[in-house]
Amino acid sequence: MAGEAGTGDCLAWAARDASGTLFPYRFTRRALRGDDVSLRITHCGVCYADVLWTRNKIGDSKYPLVPGHEIVGVVTATGSGVKDLRAGDHVGVGTYVNSCRECVYCNEFCEVFCSKGATFTFNGMDSDGTVTKGGYSSYIVVHERYCYKIPDGYPPDRAAPLLCAGITVYSPMMRHRMNQPGKSLGVIGLGGLGHLAVKFGKAFGLQVTVFSTSVSKKGEALDLLGADKFVISSNKQEMESLAKSLDFIIDTASGAHPFDPYMSLLKVHGVLVLVGFPGEVRLSPLSLLHGAKTISGSATGGTKETQEMLDFCAANKVYPEIEVIKIQDINEALDRLVNKDVKYRFVIDIANSLN
């Protein structure tokens, strides 16, 4: 690639500094170990985390930084100890690529909560002391435990967003038993996470109400995604008409917003799960005490649950809505993501554009 930096056999796009602008880059992956899988990357979803870390919004970015943790590809080689994967298998890699595999959380397949800290797919510290680099690259080497089989026939480009956005909403829905047909679900926000919450809700047989600040999303919420109701959250009358009507709410919104109005929509013992990042959560204690309601948080999920989600999506034809882009368009795509100009997830066609 013209103008690329670095040396090595792995082609990538990386941010060099906090401007977040990505450029062609080369580096070398670690050698294949006995329990490793090497996969040629075909697609990588674009998550808001890619914006946060390429632009050092968290304050711990290590440059050059190769983002991307919604990875789909094809196995090209396996270590001598790998039993369940073989060359030619279609697999995915999500938000983390290692954990201690010894603590109580790892033993329960909740590796994301590893007592010693899960190793994130990019900008994390790997066991060999190197900084992990993500899926905006030509291939990746990962311990087999953190690779997921993509079900036969499931489109690889649509599988990519499931590995972060999908499991982020699926995991709390399962934990809080939001898979009971006939129950009612509210979804706050209709972006990459929110549109998948709607799709899972309908696949579970729930009555789904979407809350948004933008009336322009009404048509797609009802007609494309299959929601049952659409409510403008700033309309006090519409909000009050739904008082004590919802069993569950998934809050995917990251902008500042009040919580008490939404808590008032929950039934007795209702649950609001926060998967967005609004900056702060402020609410009256009475919003919890009246009706014994719960507010909870969640972020991605364990390996066992992630594989179950992928299998569920294949069996129930749950497909993310995506816009496929070339790697050369990634800087524009990240700007568009910041401006909420995507329906509903960018996916990079690595196989046909990274060369």
Given a cut of 70, whether residue 322 has pLDDT beyond it is yes
Summarised one tens digit per residue, pLDDT across range 205-256 is 999 999 998 899 999 999 999 999 999 999 999 999 999 999 999 999 988 8
Summarised one tens digit per residue, pLDDT across range 16-52 is 999 999 999 999 999 999 999 999 999 999 999 999 9
Quick one: pLDDT band at residue 128, thresholds 50, 70, 90?
A: confident
CB 23 within 8 A of CB 67: no
Neighbours of 77 (CB within 10 A): 15
Task: Please state, in angstroms and rounded to a whole number, the distance separating the CA atoms of residues 274 and 171.
Answer: 12
Sorted by sequence, the CB contacts under 8 Å of residue 129 that are 6+ apart come out as none
Task: Please state, in angstroms and rounded to a whole number, the distance separating the CA atoms of residues 300 and 101.
Answer: 18
Summarised one tens digit per residue, pLDDT across range 66-91 is 999 999 999 999 999 999 999 999 99
Q: Is 288 helix (H, G, I), strand (E, B) or coil?
A: helix
**Vertex 89, ends 85 and 91: CA angle to 5°?**
85
Helix 192-203, helix 165-175: angle, nearest 10 = 50
The backbone torsions φ and ψ at residue 57, rounded to the nearest 5 degrees and listed phi first, read -70, -20
What does pTM read for this prediction?
Answer: 0.94
Pair of tokens at residue 307: 């594989």
Average pLDDT, the chain: 95
pLDDT for position 3: 61
